Structure 1
Amino acid sequence: MTRESQLEAKRPVSASLAGPYGHPFHPILVTVPIGAWVTSLVFDIASHVVHRPGFLTQSSEWLIAVGVIGALLAAMVGFLDLFAIPAGTPAFRTALVHMTLNLLVTAAYVVNFLWRHGDYTGGGSVGIGQLVLSAISVAVLGVSGFLGGRLAYRYGVRVADETTQAEGYTPDHSRASRSAAGMPE
């Protein structure tokens, strides 16, 4: 991989849509489906523990819906990040697997939402099949999250280059002395 293609993967295809250099929107947006789906799994499990689980069952269904909407928003921005990665590279292959897993998880949660839709009116616990589907989906989401971390932390996709990062590790007194000497910071 050439230095130019490596720097290309750090720059947004569209800063207004994907986030400016060094501040990508995708990692911010993925917190919505991750949080919603993990919490829905906790509610699913809790619905088997409490005496009147209807509120947990209903809440879990809505958390799944919120997660699907958040995942679709994160996917749109993630596609823009994918377009910045040069094809044929390990980063690109990792991104394709990451994307595929996320799309499968989102589809599984759409199925799970439709499967449960309206079931909470009986006030019962979440069905075992629905709970298992949620647990498997969260596990696959964890694998995909690991790959997303690899993209950011190992391959540096949409992460500021090392020169820019070094600014955060320059002691303030050194910056002040350079500034006092008329040197750029």
Structure 2
Amino acid sequence: MDELHEQAKHPASAAMAGPYGHPFHPILVTIPIGAWVTSLVFDIASHVVDDPAFLNRGALWLIGIGVLGALAAATVGFLDLLVIPTGTEAFRTGIWHMSLMLAVTIGFGFAFWWRAVGSLDDAVAYGPIALSVVCLVVLTIAGSLGGKLAYRYGVRVVAEAEQATGFVR
């Protein structure tokens, strides 16, 4: 088991996925998460202000930025998935995490299209807002699975012996 666990800690490609102890995936996921959450804030705010067009357009841009950021995060996340030994609970968790995140990205891709073909001059319609809420709920579930991979299974996290050096006085 220790050999399989150690395998999941090292990158498939340090240049692409980040060196040992410094994976790129957790850095990149902040882009889509921040963009998509902020887009929902813009959506809701578009119903409160007198001139909602700038918030509607801003939400559209944020969704697009989030989709592009998610594709970048997915690329390096897939490299991290490749180092997890197949047939393990960690690998199954990684497959679920990836599948849910792909669904969220497709959902927001559809949301981008839906908004782009609609009116950007009025408050955001309730249908696209509902889709964003559903996508963010699924994102939360998928994110918790990603956290499980890192914090419970230690995927791409350095060995405890190396972590201990940070606590030497």
User: TM over 0.5: same fold?
Assistant: yes
1:77 lines up with 2:76 in the alignment: yes
Number of corresponding residues: 169
CA separation in 1, counterparts of 2:117 and 2:103?
Answer: 23
Deviation at 1:67, TM superposition (A): 0.2
CA contact (8 A) 1:44 1:56 kept: yes
Partner of 1:132 in structure 2? 130
Deviation at 1:8, TM superposition (A): 0.4
User: What per-residue deviation string (whole Å, max 9, x for no partner) do you get for residues 51-99 of structure 1?
Assistant: 1110000000000000000000000000000000001111001000000
Partner of 1:115 in structure 2? 114
Correspondence 1:16-165 to 2 at 5 A: 16-121=15-120, 123-165=121-163
What SS is found at the alignment partner of 1:92? helix
CA separation in 2, counterparts of 1:143 and 1:110?
Answer: 19
CA separation in 1, counterparts of 2:127 and 2:88?
Answer: 39
Deviation at 1:48, TM superposition (A): 1.0
CA separation in 1, counterparts of 2:5 and 2:117?
Answer: 49
Deviation at 1:119, TM superposition (A): 3.2
Q: So what's the TM-score if we normalise by structure 1?
A: 0.90
RMSD across aligned C-alpha pairs, in angstroms? 0.8
User: What per-residue deviation string (whole Å, max 9, x for no partner) do you get for residues 5-45 of structure 1?
Assistant: 10000000000000000000000000000000000011011
Question: Which segments of 5 or more consecutive residues in structure 1 lack a partner in the other structure?
Answer: 172-185
What SS is found at the alignment partner of 1:86? coil
Q: So what's the TM-score if we normalise by structure 2?
A: 0.98
AA aligned to 2:149 is L
Partner of 1:177 in structure 2? none
Report the identity percentage: 57
AA aligned to 1:96 is I
CA contact (8 A) 1:34 1:67 kept: yes
Question: Which segments of 5 or more consecutive residues in structure 2 lack a partner in the other structure?
Answer: none
- Stretch moving more, 110-119 or 154-163: 110-119
What SS is found at the alignment partner of 1:119? coil
1:5 lines up with 2:4 in the alignment: yes
Q: Report the structure number with the largest CA radius of gyration.
A: 1
